[in-house]
Amino acid sequence: MDILLTNTEEKMQKTVKLLNQEYSELRAGRANANVLDKIRVDYYGTPTPINQMAAVSVSEARILTIQPWDKSTIQSIEKAIQASDIGINPQNDGVVIRLIFPQLTEERRKELSKDVRNMAESSRVAIRSIRRDAIEKAKKMEKASEITEDDLDDLEKDIQDLTDKYIKEIDTSAKDKETEIMTV
């Protein structure tokens, strides 16, 4: 019974964590090193994340600075960024690469807010799906006489409490991200 609750909570936590990771990768008009997380650079035949090849820092609110430890890789990093889908042209001065994030238009802010709401809704659906699966498992346990009917009622209540907790967390996270996008 406790194992079922623990597994359910772990799955819900992973869903919220994934949502927050997606939010951090969302380009919201201010410099954020997380936009580089999915970019891999061919470094001596090995696809390598940029943050393992260079110091990545936010020098100003809208400028991300990438300073490679090995100066010979600056061209490779620049090409990888250009080939990616982040939509920012790198500026290379031979020592560092600068990514200047453009100011968001009102239309783009509204699009991003809509994306945030869609991501949140997908996560809510995933949480509810986890709840449904957990309740089905609990009912099977009750049918197999592993738990009593009262235990089943308690378990369903606990699962619903977890669901409410994580949906509230998703809502809070979405609201915070929307506020950030609209006020940048």
| pLDDT tens-digit map of 5-23 | 999 999 999 999 999 888 8
Cα atoms found within 13 Å of the Cα of residue 157, Cβ hemisphere only: 6
Dihedral sign, Cα of residue 18, residue 13, residue 121, residue 20? negative
Compute CA 76 distance to the chain's CA centroid, rounded to the nearest angstrom: 26
Q: Say which residue the tokens 């783009």 belong to.
A: 108
Q: What is the domain partition of the chain in residue ranges?
A: 2-25+105-183, 33-100
Q: Which fold has domain 33-100?
A: Gyrase A; domain 2 (3.30.1360)
| pLDDT interval class at 27 (50, 70, 90) | low
Q: What is the pLDDT of residues 59-113, one digit of tens each?
A: 777 788 888 888 888 888 888 888 887 777 888 888 888 888 877 788 888 888 8
Q: Which fold has domain 2-25+105-183?
A: Topoisomerase I; Chain A, domain 4 (1.10.132)
